[in-house]
Each structure stands twice: as structure tokens, then as C-alpha cells.
Amino acid sequence: MHLDALDTPAVIADLAVMERNIAMMAAHCREVGIPLRVHTKSHKIPEIAHKQLAAGAIGIACQKLGEAEVMVAAGVTDILIPYNIVGPLKVERLTRLAKRATITVAVDSEDTARGISDRARADGCTVRVIVELDIGTKRCGVQSPEAALALAKTVVEMPGLEFIGLMLYPSRLEARPFLERTLELLGAAGIPVRMISGGGTGAEAASKQLGCTETRSGSYIWEGMTRIGGSAMLNPERCAGRVVVTVVSLPTADRIIIDGGMKTFASYPPTPYGHIIEHPDAHIYGMSVEHGHVDVSGCSHRFRVGERLSVIPLHQEMTLNLHDELVGVRDGIVEAIWPVAGRGKVR
């Protein structure tokens, strides 16, 4: 099938760009000397995860249990869940996974650890645990090296749990005093640290400098090797994702309407919502639920109803999460259609 035969709106990936991004990150991490654990929340597609593993990643990270279940079912065997797993329903699902693959989870409280321990003991399995450090993001994580030591000591004593290390996000050199003091305290207590998981696309070198044993990166598959700082960086050489849309109305000479709105593109500030590859001077200035509003006053091109456009979304991974499938395209030819198997797996 040729790309032009797809119905719209359609989310596609330029396979050449995607594969280049995968290869470049793998090469970058080898050069830096830090093992790469790819974060699959950026795509939620097992086939892409296997491409990343084949390129050299040591394992994957899944933000939610539902994503991990999809990946284990697809044959991925080493998964970090950098998220507190809380509640009997979730913990039971976690121990089921732990019997089928190597599963590591992050905790930042005794309550979370105890819930996992009780279920793991009842189910006769062991769950690997790392303690999350809050290095200034004000999200999850213990608040001091002393708190990290106390929680690690507790985890070590809990049946069904195996303490293996620490986790932080993002990897930044300002975290060094916190991390070094934590390691000092754990060492003095005789608690070995086998894993220090750093994270953040673009922070691979910082993970290495901090002494992390791995780094978690995910958005690079869409954005290339650096974080997107604005719409000016949305170019087809670095960005693999596009949404193919159709012009459905020409209300005025300086405005067109496309068949993709808020339910097609993530409503993610700031505007524009994306970059139109064929006409960079066109500006997607607004959206309603199913309509995209495009200012074409700066374009010399005469648009027509039925014309197709390719848009790089401002936030490609959030846009993909709105769709059931991703179409892989190479040189204008459809090569693969992948279900977004982890879509909606927020539990």
C-alpha cells in the first residue's frame, strides 16, 4: 500500500528516521559507557521495543503495570517499573509478572514495600526492589539519604523482596551529594547496591558521571537525541512521527480546516499544535474536538479540499496514545501496521 491510500487521520512513523534514532541512541550510550534501558511509555508498542533491544538495550522501563503486562506477553523479559505499585489488585498482578519475567519496581515508602512483600510471600515469588530518591523534582521519592537508608534496611528484612539499588530522575549532576551520601550510608550498613538507575533523554552522560549502572531514555525515538524545546525543532530529519490529515474545508482565503482536532492531536501547549511538513508557513493556531484550524495567510500555495498534509505533532508520544495503531512507512510505502498495544494501560 502507498501512503496516499491510507485513510485519515493516520498516525505514521517514518521508519528510516525511527531506526536512525534507535541506532544513534544505542551508539551514544556505548560511547558514553552507560547501559541503556529504553522507556517504552513513549510508544507502547512491543514490536518497537524489540527493535530497541536488538539494537543493544539491556531491558525496558514501563511506567504502569498494564504496559508491563503487554510487554511480557510479547516476550520481553527484563522490565523496570519506576512507579509505586499500591493496592491488592495491582500487587497481585505484579507478582504474576514476577513469576514470568525479571521485574524490578521502585518504592519510596514502607507501606508500598510491605504491600508488595505480603503478596510476594503469599505467592511464593521474589520481587526486585529499588528505592527512589527525590532529587528535586518534587514528585515521588524519599527526601534524604537517611530516609533512603531506613527504607533500604526495611526492604532488606522483608520476605519476598530483594533490595538491589536506587533510582533517580532526571540524571543531573546536582544530585551527586544526595546520591553519594546515600551510597556512603548503605555501604556503612553493609547493604550492597547492584543497580543505580538514572533517567532522562539527553541525560545519558550525566547518568554515567553520577555512577549510575544504567540510564532510562524513551522520547528519543520520536525526537532524536535532544529534548524538543519548541516547535522550531519539529523537523522531519529528527522527528519520526507524523499525522497525515486531509483538508476538509476552505472557509476563507487565509484559513483551512483539517480532519484532525483535539481527539487526533494531544492538546499540549504551547501552540502551534504541530509542524506541517509540506507548508512550514502554515500555522495550526487552534483546535476543536474534531477540527484543526490552520492559518495559511503566510502561504503562497493555493490549498484545495481533499489535499493531504503531514503534521509532526508537538508531543508525538501523547498523540500516539490517542490512536489504536501506528503505520510504519518507508519511502512512501506502508511496511508495517502495529497495534498500540499499551494504549490506555494506565492501571
3-state DSSP assignment of residue 135? coil
Per-residue DSSP letter, 42: G
Q: Are the beta carbons of 198 and 171 closer than 8 angstroms?
A: yes
Of the candidates 170, 207, 213, the one whose C-alpha atom is nearest the C-alpha of residue 194 is: 213
Cell of residue 263, nine digits: 481527539
Write down all domains in the chain, each with its CATH number in brackets. 3-11+231-339 (2.40.37.20), 16-223 (3.20.20.10)
Cell of residue 155, nine digits: 526492604
Of the candidates 28, 87, 37, the one whose C-alpha atom is nearest the C-alpha of residue 62 is: 37
- Measured CA to CA, the distance from residue 272 to residue 230 in angstroms comes to 9
> pTM of the full predicted structure?
0.95
Q: What is the pLDDT along the chain (347 residues), one digit of tens a residue?
A: 999 999 999 999 999 999 999 999 999 999 999 999 999 999 999 999 999 999 999 999 999 999 999 999 999 999 999 999 999 999 999 999 999 999 999 999 999 999 999 999 999 999 999 999 999 999 999 999 999 999 999 999 999 999 999 999 999 999 999 999 999 999 999 999 999 999 999 999 999 999 999 999 999 999 888 655 555 678 899 999 999 999 999 999 999 999 999 999 986 666 668 999 999 999 999 999 999 999 999 999 999 999 999 999 988 999 999 999 999 999 999 999 999 999 999 99
Q: Are the beta carbons of 11 and 334 closer than 8 angstroms?
A: no
Cell of residue 168, nine digits: 533517580
pLDDT of residue 230: 56
CA-CA-CA-CA torsion sign (221, 225, 227, 233): negative
Q: Are the beta carbons of 125 and 91 closer than 8 angstroms?
A: no
Helix (H) or strand (E) holding 14: strand 10-14
Q: Are the beta carbons of 156 and 163 closer than 8 angstroms?
A: yes
How many CA atoms are closer than 13 Å to the CA of 177, on its beta-carbon side? 4
Q: Are the beta carbons of 283 and 294 closer than 8 angstroms?
A: yes
Per-residue DSSP letter, 89: H
Task: Please list, in sequence order, all residues whose beta carbon lies within 8 angstroms of the beta carbon of residue 34, skipping any fewer than 6 positions away.
Answer: 198, 204, 205, 207, 208, 212, 214, 215
Of the candidates 281, 303, 83, the one whose C-alpha atom is nearest the C-alpha of residue 197 is: 83
Q: Are the beta carbons of 273 and 314 closer than 8 angstroms?
A: yes
Helix (H) or strand (E) holding 19: helix 15-32
